[in-house]
Amino acid sequence: MALQVDIEKRLAGFTLDLSFAADDVPLGILGPSGSGKTMLLRCIAGLEDPTHGRIVLGNHTLLDTEHDVRVPARRRRVGMLFQHYALFPHQSVAENVGFGLGQLPRAERDRRVRFMLNQVHAAELEPRYPRQLSGGEQQRVALARALASEPEALLLDEPLSALDTHLRSQMEAQLQETFLSYRGPALLVTHNIEEAYRLSARLLVLSRGRIAAMGPREEIFRRPPSVEVALLTGCKNISQARAVSDRSVEAVDWGCRLRLAQAVPPSVGHIGIRAHHIDFTEYSDRDPGAENVFPCWLVSTSETPFRITLYLRLHKPPDESGGHDLQAEVFKQKWEKFSARPLPWHVELSPESLFVMPK
């Protein structure tokens, strides 16, 4: 089953202008607030009308403005999981899950409801009402409702954003389980970079209504095609760059020359490295064979339960401005091993971890 989308919709401030295809590999849709992520899902589901365009799901045309085809939402066979669940408060869990199954005989409807609640590990919730459920329980019920009608496409709009950390972890595991058995296009909208990476084998990065990047998640994270995509996927270290040779560039903002693992393209304008790819070494930049190794001084730190973010100044001690050149992330176990070393430390920017971007 394939989903093909080619639509335009005029919005306040920009136009949603997208053309892409999705199959049964979960597709994460990543982008900042206001980039058109939710509007895209609503257009596919039939809750919004594009200005013009075409949407095809399998062999069924859901929208074709040129030929005046607009299949109503209730007939699109699309399941949608909303950010805030959207359960009907006056209906029980069983009634919520069976809401779209009115055309089935009562016995088959009851069987389907029980099956779906079992699938999302929520069978014991069947007689309860939404007000009696936790946020995680409500989201499981909403997922069961989205799947109950056996949709040909599944749309999930920020499904974990309203949950606390523990419930988010549980629901993420549930979604991973669901994606393993679901055999249709599944589109997951999120602004959480790590969530998108864990749940989606492919990514579509949106920026003001347009596709900034689309492809396998590893490729987009490892080789972002632009500075914008690098920033949207969480890269903290980007410098202006100019070519020095076919395998090296000068990182202008970092004040150093770097060797790359790949050939330098003629269009090079920036270079980047992700914070967790910066390594610390006991070798100095003066050691024979040392490559992309530079002295650094610690400006400041920021701490989470498991990681330390280090703000580093290259080449010389920090001054009163407190400015930094690089941002590195290390697990606390590693931090404890080298934090007591005298400054300067030495960072290594591996050629394999560096990536270049156009001007």
For residue 189, what is the domain's CATH number?
3.40.50.300
| Helices first, then strands: H and E counts in the chain | 9, 21
Do residues 218 and 241 share a domain?
no
Q: Are residues 66 and 215 in the same domain?
A: yes
> Are residues 219 and 271 both part of a single domain?
no
Residues 6+ apart with CB under 8 A from 331: 306, 307, 308
> Does 243 lie in the same domain as 358?
yes
**CA-to-CA dists, residue 15 to 12, 18, 41, angstroms:** 8, 9, 15
Using CB atoms within 10 A of its CB, is residue 307 exposed (0-12), middle (13-18) or buried (19+)? middle
Q: What is the C-alpha separation between 139 and 192, in angstroms, rounded?
A: 18
Number of domains, the chain: 2
Instruction: Output the six-digit token pair for 120.
Output: 């999302």
Q: Which residue has the tokens 């969530």?
A: 195
Q: Kindly report the backbone phi and psi dihedral angles of residue 263, in degrees, each rounded to the nearest multiple of 5, phi listed first.
A: -65, 145
Domain carrying residue 244? 235-359
Question: Would residue 267 count as lying in a domain?
Answer: yes
φ, ψ of residue 202 in degrees (nearest 5) = -125, 150
Strand 153-157 vs strand 14-22: parallel, antiparallel, or unpaired? unpaired
On whether both 195 and 264 belong to a single domain, the answer is no
Q: Tell whether 57 and 196 lie within a shared domain.
A: yes
DSSP-derived 3-state class of residue 275 = helix
Domain boundary among 198, 224, 250: 224
- 198 shares a domain with 137: yes
- Residue 230 forms part of a structural domain: no
Distance CA 233, CA 30 (A): 8
pLDDT tens, residue order, the chain (359 aa)? 799 999 999 998 899 999 999 999 999 999 988 899 999 999 999 999 999 999 999 999 999 999 999 999 989 999 999 877 789 999 999 999 998 887 889 999 999 999 989 888 889 999 999 999 988 889 889 999 999 989 999 999 988 887 787 778 888 888 899 999 898 999 999 988 999 999 999 999 999 999 999 999 999 999 999 999 999 999 999 999 999 999 999 999 999 999 999 999 999 999 999 999 999 988 776 676 678 999 999 999 999 999 999 999 999 999 888 799 999 999 999 998 889 899 999 999 999 999 999 98
Last residue of a domain, one of 203, 224, 245: 224
Q: Contact, 155 vs 81, CB < 8 A?
A: yes
Would you say residue 187 lies in a domain? Answer: yes
- SS3 of residue 334 by DSSP: helix
In a domain, 61, yes or no: yes
Q: Which of 201, 224, 247 delimits the end of a domain?
A: 224
- At residue 18, the 3 state secondary structure works out as strand
In terms of domains, do 164 and 308 share one?
A: no
Question: How far is CA 340 from its chain centroid?
Answer: 36
- Tokens representing residue 144 in the block: 């069961």
Chain centre to alpha carbon of residue 300:
28
Dihedral of alpha carbons 65, 71, 73, 79, sign: negative
The answer to whether position 229 is within a domain reads no
| Inside any domain, residue 355 | yes
Residues 7 and 152 in one domain: yes
Q: CB within 8 A of 84, min separation 6: which ones?
A: 162
Distances (CA, A) of 39 to 3, 26, 172, 189: 16, 19, 23, 10
Are 209 and 252 part of one and the same domain? no
- Residue 191 falls within a domain, yes or no? yes
Alpha helices in the chain (DSSP H): 37-45, 93-97, 106-119, 135-148, 165-181, 193-199, 217-222, 227-232, 332-338
From the list 155, 178, 93, 164, the residue with the least C-alpha distance to 128 is 93
Is residue 167 assigned to a domain? yes
133 and 39 in a common domain = yes
- Rounded Cα gap, residues 319 and 183, in angstroms: 57
Residue 95: exposure state from Cβ atoms within 10 A (0-12, 13-18, ≥19): middle
Are residue 241 and residue 219 in the same domain, yes or no?
no
pLDDT at 319 (0 to 100):
86
Cα separation, 248 vs 193, whole angstroms: 30
Region for residue 166 given its phi and psi (left: phi exceeds 0; alpha: psi -120 to 50; beta: otherwise): alpha
Cβ atoms 155, 187 nearer than 8 A = yes
Q: What pLDDT score does 289 carry?
A: 67
